[in-house]
A = this chain, B = another copy of it.
Amino acid sequence: MVVGIVGLGLMGGSMGLAVKNLEFIDKVVGIDHNQSHCESAVSLNLVDEIVDLEGLKQSDVIFLAIPVEGIINSLKNLIDIPPNTTIIDLGSTKAKIVENIPTQIRKNFVAAHPMTGTEKFGPTAALKNLYKDKIVVLCNLDESGEHQRNTAWRIFEEIGMKIVTMDAKEHDRHAAYISHLPHAISYALANAVMAQEDAKNILILAAGGFRDMSRLAKSSPVMWEEIFKQNKKNLLEAMDHFEEELKRCRELINNEEWESLHNWMKDANKLHDIL
Protein backbone atom coordinates (compact mmCIF):
# COMPACT_ATOMS: atom_id res chain seq x y z
CA MET A 1 0.00 0.00 0.00
CA VAL A 2 1.31 3.46 -0.92
CA VAL A 3 0.50 6.37 1.36
CA GLY A 4 0.58 9.92 0.01
CA ILE A 5 0.74 12.90 2.34
CA VAL A 6 -0.35 16.39 1.33
CA GLY A 7 1.32 18.89 3.64
CA LEU A 8 4.63 17.95 5.23
CA GLY A 9 4.46 19.92 8.48
CA LEU A 10 3.88 18.78 12.05
CA MET A 11 0.81 16.62 11.35
CA GLY A 12 1.75 15.32 7.89
CA GLY A 13 5.41 14.78 8.70
CA SER A 14 4.53 12.94 11.91
CA MET A 15 2.07 10.78 9.96
CA GLY A 16 4.88 9.90 7.54
CA LEU A 17 7.07 8.81 10.46
CA ALA A 18 4.19 6.85 12.02
CA VAL A 19 3.13 4.88 8.95
CA LYS A 20 6.43 4.23 7.21
CA ASN A 21 7.33 1.26 9.36
CA LEU A 22 3.92 -0.44 9.22
CA GLU A 23 4.16 -3.85 7.63
CA PHE A 24 1.49 -3.20 4.98
CA ILE A 25 2.84 0.18 3.86
CA ASP A 26 5.24 -0.13 0.93
CA LYS A 27 6.04 3.51 0.35
CA VAL A 28 5.23 6.95 1.69
CA VAL A 29 5.20 9.83 -0.77
CA GLY A 30 4.62 13.49 -0.06
CA ILE A 31 3.72 16.81 -1.61
CA ASP A 32 3.91 20.35 -0.24
CA HIS A 33 3.57 23.70 -1.99
CA ASN A 34 6.60 24.88 -0.01
CA GLN A 35 9.71 23.58 -1.79
CA SER A 36 11.94 23.82 1.28
CA HIS A 37 9.42 21.75 3.25
CA CYS A 38 9.70 19.08 0.54
CA GLU A 39 13.47 19.06 0.84
CA SER A 40 13.39 18.93 4.64
CA ALA A 41 10.78 16.16 4.63
CA VAL A 42 13.02 13.97 2.48
CA SER A 43 16.20 14.72 4.38
CA LEU A 44 14.41 14.08 7.71
CA ASN A 45 13.05 10.81 6.30
CA LEU A 46 9.46 11.84 6.90
CA VAL A 47 8.58 10.54 3.41
CA ASP A 48 10.41 8.33 0.94
CA GLU A 49 9.96 10.67 -2.00
CA ILE A 50 8.28 13.84 -3.23
CA VAL A 51 5.67 13.47 -5.97
CA ASP A 52 3.53 15.80 -8.09
CA LEU A 53 -0.28 15.80 -8.15
CA GLU A 54 -0.43 12.94 -10.67
CA GLY A 55 1.98 10.90 -8.57
CA LEU A 56 -0.07 11.62 -5.48
CA LYS A 57 -3.22 10.30 -7.13
CA GLN A 58 -1.60 6.90 -7.52
CA SER A 59 -1.41 6.50 -3.75
CA ASP A 60 -3.81 4.05 -2.12
CA VAL A 61 -4.31 6.40 0.82
CA ILE A 62 -4.02 10.19 0.69
CA PHE A 63 -3.70 12.12 3.93
CA LEU A 64 -4.62 15.79 3.78
CA ALA A 65 -2.50 17.41 6.47
CA ILE A 66 -2.97 21.04 5.49
CA PRO A 67 -4.98 23.96 6.91
CA VAL A 68 -8.74 23.37 6.82
CA GLU A 69 -9.57 25.80 3.99
CA GLY A 70 -6.80 24.18 1.96
CA ILE A 71 -8.40 20.79 2.55
CA ILE A 72 -11.64 21.95 0.93
CA ASN A 73 -9.81 23.66 -1.94
CA SER A 74 -7.65 20.63 -2.64
CA LEU A 75 -10.60 18.29 -3.20
CA LYS A 76 -11.45 19.63 -6.66
CA ASN A 77 -8.05 18.32 -7.82
CA LEU A 78 -8.81 14.84 -6.53
CA ILE A 79 -12.20 14.09 -8.11
CA ASP A 80 -10.66 11.71 -10.67
CA ILE A 81 -8.98 9.35 -8.18
CA PRO A 82 -9.63 5.60 -8.51
CA PRO A 83 -12.73 4.27 -6.67
CA ASN A 84 -10.68 2.40 -4.05
CA THR A 85 -8.51 5.34 -3.04
CA THR A 86 -8.97 6.53 0.55
CA ILE A 87 -8.65 10.24 1.34
CA ILE A 88 -8.26 11.04 5.03
CA ASP A 89 -8.20 14.63 6.21
CA LEU A 90 -6.62 15.57 9.54
CA GLY A 91 -8.30 18.95 9.97
CA SER A 92 -9.38 20.42 13.31
CA THR A 93 -12.85 21.30 12.00
CA LYS A 94 -15.15 18.77 10.42
CA ALA A 95 -18.61 20.15 9.49
CA LYS A 96 -17.57 22.55 6.69
CA ILE A 97 -15.20 19.96 5.29
CA VAL A 98 -17.75 17.14 5.06
CA GLU A 99 -20.31 19.57 3.61
CA ASN A 100 -17.88 20.42 0.82
CA ILE A 101 -16.72 17.00 -0.30
CA PRO A 102 -17.60 16.62 -4.01
CA THR A 103 -20.27 13.91 -4.39
CA GLN A 104 -18.04 11.93 -6.79
CA ILE A 105 -15.50 11.25 -4.06
CA ARG A 106 -17.69 11.27 -0.95
CA LYS A 107 -17.22 7.53 -0.45
CA ASN A 108 -13.46 7.92 -0.83
CA PHE A 109 -13.33 10.38 2.02
CA VAL A 110 -12.86 9.75 5.73
CA ALA A 111 -13.06 12.83 7.96
CA ALA A 112 -10.64 12.54 10.88
CA HIS A 113 -9.45 14.77 13.71
CA PRO A 114 -6.49 13.37 15.63
CA MET A 115 -6.54 14.92 19.12
CA THR A 116 -2.84 15.61 19.25
CA GLY A 117 -0.35 18.23 18.16
CA THR A 118 2.10 20.75 19.49
CA GLU A 119 2.40 24.49 19.00
CA LYS A 120 5.31 23.92 16.61
CA PHE A 121 4.95 23.69 12.86
CA GLY A 122 6.84 22.73 9.72
CA PRO A 123 8.70 19.47 8.89
CA THR A 124 11.22 19.90 11.72
CA ALA A 125 8.31 19.78 14.20
CA ALA A 126 7.39 16.23 13.15
CA LEU A 127 7.50 13.60 15.91
CA LYS A 128 7.50 9.83 15.48
CA ASN A 129 5.08 9.22 18.35
CA LEU A 130 2.79 12.22 17.91
CA TYR A 131 -0.21 9.94 17.26
CA LYS A 132 0.63 7.03 19.58
CA ASP A 133 -1.90 6.45 22.39
CA LYS A 134 -3.88 9.52 21.32
CA ILE A 135 -7.54 9.73 20.32
CA VAL A 136 -8.71 10.24 16.74
CA VAL A 137 -12.28 11.34 16.12
CA LEU A 138 -13.80 9.99 12.89
CA CYS A 139 -16.87 11.91 11.71
CA ASN A 140 -19.92 10.94 9.66
CA LEU A 141 -18.32 7.58 9.00
CA ASP A 142 -21.51 6.10 7.50
CA GLU A 143 -21.03 8.45 4.51
CA SER A 144 -17.63 6.91 3.75
CA GLY A 145 -17.28 3.73 1.65
CA GLU A 146 -16.79 0.45 3.47
CA HIS A 147 -13.33 -0.10 2.02
CA GLN A 148 -12.27 3.43 2.99
CA ARG A 149 -13.72 3.09 6.51
CA ASN A 150 -11.80 -0.14 7.02
CA THR A 151 -8.58 1.28 5.58
CA ALA A 152 -8.65 4.38 7.76
CA TRP A 153 -9.60 2.35 10.83
CA ARG A 154 -6.74 -0.08 10.25
CA ILE A 155 -4.12 2.63 9.80
CA PHE A 156 -5.19 4.63 12.85
CA GLU A 157 -5.27 1.47 14.94
CA GLU A 158 -1.88 0.30 13.71
CA ILE A 159 -0.23 3.61 14.60
CA GLY A 160 -1.60 3.23 18.12
CA MET A 161 -4.60 5.57 18.11
CA LYS A 162 -7.86 5.14 20.00
CA ILE A 163 -10.79 5.64 17.63
CA VAL A 164 -13.94 7.55 18.57
CA THR A 165 -16.79 8.28 16.14
CA MET A 166 -18.89 11.43 16.18
CA ASP A 167 -21.24 13.54 14.09
CA ALA A 168 -19.28 16.34 12.37
CA LYS A 169 -21.50 19.13 13.69
CA GLU A 170 -21.32 17.74 17.22
CA HIS A 171 -17.56 17.48 16.86
CA ASP A 172 -17.28 21.12 15.87
CA ARG A 173 -19.31 22.31 18.82
CA HIS A 174 -17.25 20.27 21.29
CA ALA A 175 -13.98 21.27 19.61
CA ALA A 176 -14.96 24.95 19.84
CA TYR A 177 -15.04 24.70 23.64
CA ILE A 178 -12.27 22.22 24.29
CA SER A 179 -9.75 23.18 21.62
CA HIS A 180 -10.53 26.34 19.65
CA LEU A 181 -11.53 28.55 22.60
CA PRO A 182 -8.31 27.73 24.51
CA HIS A 183 -6.32 28.80 21.44
CA ALA A 184 -8.19 32.13 21.18
CA ILE A 185 -7.60 32.72 24.90
CA SER A 186 -3.92 31.91 24.66
CA TYR A 187 -3.40 34.29 21.73
CA ALA A 188 -5.27 37.02 23.67
CA LEU A 189 -3.26 36.39 26.84
CA ALA A 190 0.06 36.57 24.98
CA ASN A 191 -0.93 39.81 23.27
CA ALA A 192 -2.24 41.38 26.50
CA VAL A 193 0.88 40.48 28.46
CA MET A 194 3.34 41.53 25.75
CA ALA A 195 1.56 44.88 25.39
CA GLN A 196 1.95 45.58 29.12
CA GLU A 197 5.11 43.79 30.15
CA ASP A 198 8.62 43.94 28.77
CA ALA A 199 10.53 40.83 27.78
CA LYS A 200 12.80 40.98 30.83
CA ASN A 201 9.96 40.81 33.34
CA ILE A 202 8.14 38.13 31.37
CA LEU A 203 11.28 36.01 31.51
CA ILE A 204 11.77 36.62 35.24
CA LEU A 205 8.19 35.98 36.31
CA ALA A 206 7.06 33.32 33.84
CA ALA A 207 6.86 30.11 35.85
CA GLY A 208 5.20 26.97 34.54
CA GLY A 209 1.74 28.53 34.66
CA PHE A 210 2.29 31.33 32.17
CA ARG A 211 4.43 29.10 29.99
CA ASP A 212 1.58 26.58 29.72
CA MET A 213 -1.09 29.22 29.24
CA SER A 214 0.81 31.00 26.48
CA ARG A 215 2.19 27.97 24.65
CA LEU A 216 -0.76 27.77 22.24
CA ALA A 217 -0.18 31.43 21.30
CA LYS A 218 2.86 30.21 19.38
CA SER A 219 0.63 28.17 17.05
CA SER A 220 0.50 28.73 13.30
CA PRO A 221 -1.67 31.73 12.33
CA VAL A 222 -2.34 30.19 8.89
CA MET A 223 -3.78 27.06 10.45
CA TRP A 224 -5.78 28.79 13.19
CA GLU A 225 -7.17 31.61 11.09
CA GLU A 226 -8.85 28.98 8.92
CA ILE A 227 -10.12 26.93 11.88
CA PHE A 228 -11.66 30.05 13.43
CA LYS A 229 -13.20 30.90 10.05
CA GLN A 230 -14.80 27.48 9.60
CA ASN A 231 -15.99 27.19 13.19
CA LYS A 232 -16.99 30.83 13.61
CA LYS A 233 -20.46 30.32 15.06
CA ASN A 234 -19.51 27.71 17.64
CA LEU A 235 -16.37 29.56 18.63
CA LEU A 236 -18.21 32.85 19.21
CA GLU A 237 -20.72 31.00 21.38
CA ALA A 238 -17.91 29.37 23.36
CA MET A 239 -16.26 32.77 23.78
CA ASP A 240 -19.57 34.13 25.14
CA HIS A 241 -19.69 31.46 27.82
CA PHE A 242 -16.05 31.94 28.73
CA GLU A 243 -16.49 35.71 28.99
CA GLU A 244 -19.47 35.22 31.29
CA GLU A 245 -17.34 33.12 33.62
CA LEU A 246 -14.53 35.65 33.58
CA LYS A 247 -17.03 38.43 34.21
CA ARG A 248 -18.33 36.47 37.19
CA CYS A 249 -14.78 36.16 38.53
CA ARG A 250 -14.22 39.89 38.02
CA GLU A 251 -17.44 40.81 39.82
CA LEU A 252 -16.66 38.58 42.78
CA ILE A 253 -13.22 40.19 43.10
CA ASN A 254 -14.58 43.70 42.56
CA ASN A 255 -17.35 43.22 45.16
CA GLU A 256 -14.93 41.42 47.49
CA GLU A 257 -17.22 38.38 47.71
CA TRP A 258 -14.33 36.16 48.76
CA GLU A 259 -16.39 33.20 49.88
CA SER A 260 -18.25 33.08 46.55
CA LEU A 261 -14.92 33.44 44.71
CA HIS A 262 -13.58 30.54 46.74
CA ASN A 263 -16.59 28.41 45.78
CA TRP A 264 -16.27 29.43 42.12
CA MET A 265 -12.64 28.24 42.20
CA LYS A 266 -13.70 25.05 43.94
CA ASP A 267 -16.15 24.39 41.10
CA ALA A 268 -13.24 24.71 38.65
CA ASN A 269 -11.24 22.23 40.77
CA LYS A 270 -13.81 19.58 39.79
CA LEU A 271 -11.87 19.26 36.55
CA HIS A 272 -9.62 17.01 38.69
CA ASP A 273 -12.32 14.35 38.50
CA ILE A 274 -12.26 14.40 34.70
CA LEU A 275 -8.67 15.03 33.63
Contact = CB atoms under 8 A, between A and B. Distances in A.
B271 A254 contact: no
Interface in A240-266: 241-246, 248-250, 253-254, 256, 258, 261-266
A270 interface: yes
29 contacts: A115-B205, A166-B204, A174-B205, A177-B193, A178-B201, A178-B202, A178-B205, A178-B206, A182-B210, A184-B246, A187-B245, A187-B265, A190-B271, A191-B245, A194-B271, A195-B241, A195-B245, A196-B241, A206-B275, A210-B275, A214-B271, A217-B265, A218-B269, A218-B272, A221-B265, A225-B261, A235-B253, A236-B250, A243-B246
A201 B135 CA distance: 11
A201 B275 CA distance: 11
A57 interface: no
B253 A188 contact: no
Contacts of A228: 253, 261
A236 to B, nearest CB: 6
Contacts of A225: 258, 261-262, 265
A192 B137 contact: no
B188 A242 contact: yes
Interface residues of A, number: 90
Contact of A191 (B116, B210, B267): B267
Contacts of A267: 191, 194
A73 B265 CA distance: 23
State the majority secondary structure of interface residues on A. helix
Contacts of A174: 197, 201, 204-205
A250 to B, nearest CB: 6
Given A177-B193, A250-B236, A269 B214 contact: no
Nearest to A178: B205
A76 interface: no
